[in-house]
A and B are shown apart, each in its own frame.
Chain A
Amino acid sequence: MSSPRYWRGIPQRYRLEAGKCKKCGKIYFPPRLICDECKSREFEKVNLPKEGKILTYTIIRVAPSQCTDQAPYAMGIVELSAGSTGKDGVKILSQIADCDFDKLEIGMPVRIEFRKIYQEGEAGIICYGYKCVPV
């Protein structure tokens, strides 16, 4: 991965920066330029909550080349807490680290931590980002 491409993703991968539509309140992760609900183009920067629950999960046994050293590993789609907004929480896909595969279940509470995702060989970029861990 080239340095500029990696650098562009840092606000989302390190700080979970999302865009909240100023008109209808919908939150986008990653941020977008136009709201698909109300077509507004005005957003404010918000950080996603770090708690959520597993909606579905799998164990990746046959991994892509950059992740073969980690396999097998769990991955899940996690809905982050929407607090008292009454709306659906933002959903993300991430690895579920530090878990017992046999104890994973739909609805399980998790929290987001900052982790190493993979390393591009001896001299390449070390890629960081978010992973979920059971609470």
Chain B
Amino acid sequence: MRDVAIIGVGMNKWGELWESSLRDIFTEAALLAIEDAEVDHIDSMYIGCMSSGLFVGQEHLSSLLTDYLGMGPIPATRVESACSSGGLALRTGLIDVASGMNDIVLVGGVEKMTDVSVHGATFALSTAADQEYEVYHGVTFPGLYALMARAHMHRYGTTRKQLAQVAVKNHYHGSMNPLAQYPQKITAEEVIESVMVADPLRILDCSPITDGAAAVILAPLDLAKKISKKPVVKIIGSGHATDTIALHSRKDLTEIKSTERAAKIAYEMASKSPEEIHLAEVHDCFTIAEICVIEALGFAEKGKGGPATEHGMTTLGGKIPVNTSGGLKSKGHPVGATGVAQAIEITKQLRGEAGERQVKNAKVGLTQNMGGSGGSSIVHIMEVV
């Protein structure tokens, strides 16, 4: 296997982009990545997208997006793994370059979510859960994560305030990210008094519905060192694992085993331990998710994710800043783009380009992207070389 590096990143401002179509927002991000990498061609392309069929009635993105990017007839592949589609697209592109099949590969992610009603978006997202044995009975994604939150609070004493602190922290980080959908700072009181969605989760515990795209350019490390004018970010670990699609089929309702497994694989491949990670971008689709994930990644002991967050371990300036981009909560969550955008934040941090939210001396970063209620997870570890 060849070593692989990220040599270019591109992302547009996320939000409710009424005036832009799926093809426009993807092409914008892809062009930004191509310009950042200063390459004149790409050999192949991977697109993470969860459900363009349900959101805009459009499948066959491989053809559409290479066409509009002016890159036809290169090969392109759409990758789907619910909310972890972007992370999986990155891993698939990584495998393509590592194998020697292609050299310059564009990995993009996109989701155009606001062309349907809220009910339409809720339905599209719910297809990531078990349609016959979860969704049929009337559960929603906030509902599934609420079930995990209740179990975590009951077993470990995680508090309502600790959940709120995840949202407060991520909005504080997002306030320093000009591309974030909701860059407003919020308080714990505002979270705790916001509208209830599925007890104990309130609207400010939930990531929003977002239009957005993100793209990175991959190249073999040797070539990257020759052509890149910026610090080269090497992908040193990649792990991917699955778990049951239905939350109720899992042995423990407070753990995200797919993340634990994917992280173990990535740490081994990178020869790194959790203590050697300087910052991470994780999948905070709901506040409880970030708490379970930092436990699964080994940043906090099992059951201690709440207190660790409350005491500032994961805040900028803390021991391991988590979601300096604002995370899904503040930056937005266009599901197929999220996993790619996580890699962009880590790349910018490792290059020292993160501005106000820069983590000092950041050399090693981690991304964790997951699908559904944890039915799939992808973890990547990156190091500046």
Is the pair A55, B138 in contact by a Cβ cutoff of 8 Å? Answer: no
**A117 and B140 contact, CB distance less than 8 A:** no
Minimum CB–CB distance for A95 against chain B, Å: 6
**Is A93's beta carbon under 8 Å from chain B?**
yes
Q: How far is the CA of A92 from the CA of B195 in the complex (A)?
A: 28
Query: Does the CB pair B126–A64 fall under 8 Å?
Result: yes
CB contacts (< 8 Å) of A73 on chain B: these are 138
Contact A75 B137 (CB under 8 A): yes
Q: Which residues in window 65-87 of A have CB below 8 A to B?
A: 65-67, 70, 73, 75-77
| Cβ–Cβ contact B133 & A30, under 8 A | yes
By a CB distance below 8 angstroms, the chain A residues around B138 are: 60, 63-64, 66-67, 70, 73, 75, 95, 117-118
Q: How far is the CA of A66 from the CA of B137 in the complex (A)?
A: 10
Check if B113 is an interface residue, CB within 8 A of chain A.
Answer: no
Q: Is B43 an interface residue (CB 8 A)?
A: no
A-B contact count (CB 8 A): 92
A62→B198 contact, CB < 8 A? yes
Q: Could you tell me if B248 and A77 are in contact, using CB atoms closer than 8 angstroms?
A: yes
State the Cβ distance, B173 to closest chain A Cβ, in Å. 26
Q: Which one, A9, A56, A67, contacts B150 given CB within 8 A?
A: A56
Contact B122 A64 (CB under 8 A): yes
> At the interface, yes or no: B161 with Cβ under 8 Å from chain A?
no
Q: Which A residues are in CB contact (< 8 Å) with B271? A: none
Name the B residues within 8 Å of A88 (CB-CB).
251
Contact between chains at A77 and B136 (CB < 8 Å): no
Rounded to whole Å, the gap between the CB of B28 and the closest CB of chain A is 32
Interface string of B120-161 (1 = CB under 8 A from A): 001100100000111111111011001110110010000000
B246 at the interface (CB under 8 A from A): yes
Chain A residues near B197: list those with CB within 8 A.
61-62
- A-contacting residues, B238-280, CB 8 Å: 246-249, 251, 253
B35 located at the interface, meaning its Cβ lies under 8 Å from any Cβ of chain A in the complex? no
CB-contact partner of B123 in A57, A64, A75, under 8 A: A64
Q: Please report which residues of chain B, range 153-211, place their CB below 8 angstroms from some CB of chain A when the two chains form the complex.
A: 154, 195-201
Q: Tally chain A residues at the interface, Cβ within 8 Å.
A: 32
B196 proximity list for chain A (CB < 8 A): 59, 61
Known: A61-B196, A62-B197, A73-B138. A9 touches B143 (CB 8 A): no
| A40 to B136 alpha-carbon distance, docked (Å) | 29
Task: Report the bound CA distance from A60 to B188 in whole Å.
Answer: 22
Asked whether A60 lies within 8 Å of B140 as measured between CB atoms, the reply is yes
A81 to chain B, nearest CB (A): 16
Report how far A117 CA is from B133 CA in the complex, Å. Answer: 12
- Interface membership of B60, Cβ < 8 A: no
Using Cβ atoms and an 8 Å threshold, which residues of chain A touch B195? Answer: 61
Quick check: A77 and B135 within 8 Å, CB to CB?
no
- B119: CB under 8 A from chain A? yes
> Complex formed: what's the CA distance from A88 to B123 in Å?
32
Which of A65, A66, A93 neighbours the largest number of chain B CB atoms within 10 Å of its CB?
A93
Query: Can you give 23 contacting A-B residue pairs, CB < 8 Å?
Result: A57-B150, A58-B143, A58-B146, A58-B147, A58-B150, A58-B200, A59-B196, A59-B198, A61-B195, A61-B198, A63-B140, A64-B119, A65-B122, A73-B138, A75-B147, A77-B147, A91-B248, A92-B133, A93-B137, A93-B248, A101-B199, A106-B154, A118-B138
User: Which residues of B are interface residues toward A (Cβ below 8 A)?
Assistant: 119, 122-123, 126, 132-140, 142-143, 146-148, 150-151, 154, 195-201, 246-249, 251, 253
